[in-house]
Amino acid sequence: MKNKRIELIKGDITRLDVDAVVNAANNSLLGGGGVDGAIHKAAGPDLYKECESLKGCITGEAKITKGYKLKARHIIHTVGPMWYGGYRDEPGSLASCYQSSLKLAKENKIKTIAFPGISTGVYGFPKDLAALIAINETKRFINRHSLPEKVIFVAYDDDNYETYRKLLDQ
């Protein structure tokens, strides 16, 4: 990995001590399965209450909340696209998730942010394409902005870790 502002780790995003973790949320922001359910469970019931007040989020956009019981001070919730074979501009929507999340991080003076693989679980986005979009959008953003200072991609399993590692080593 050549970029000192980008890091890759394998682990549980809910346990990271960072300024913000990104939640791969659904449109309601009220919790779901996968990363979304894990973040809501770890953060506790106050997160649900704050998310209710946000009145949802459209696909490709992002909203920020407190981190509550997480070590992370904030949670940036972004809604990734469902995969329909690439015929509904899913790559563009996923790129927008990263742009929106990084913009919110910059606006809130977040120095360290951790991303899961957005849309790669039940939403079915191909993991290799999702990782490529994540890395490209992140590099594009951090090349133009001083914040966030560090972006961490968090892989939950060996396959995702290897996908990101190979792309970051190029």
Looking at the annotation, which residues are catalytic?
36
CA distance linking residue 96 with residue 33, whole number of Å: 22
R_g of the chain computed on alpha carbons = 14
Q: Quote the strand ranges of the chain, DSSP E.
A: 6-10, 20-25, 62-66, 74-79, 112-115, 150-155
Question: Cβ atoms within 10 A of the Cβ of 142, count?
Answer: 19
CA distance linking residue 145 with residue 6, whole number of Å: 14
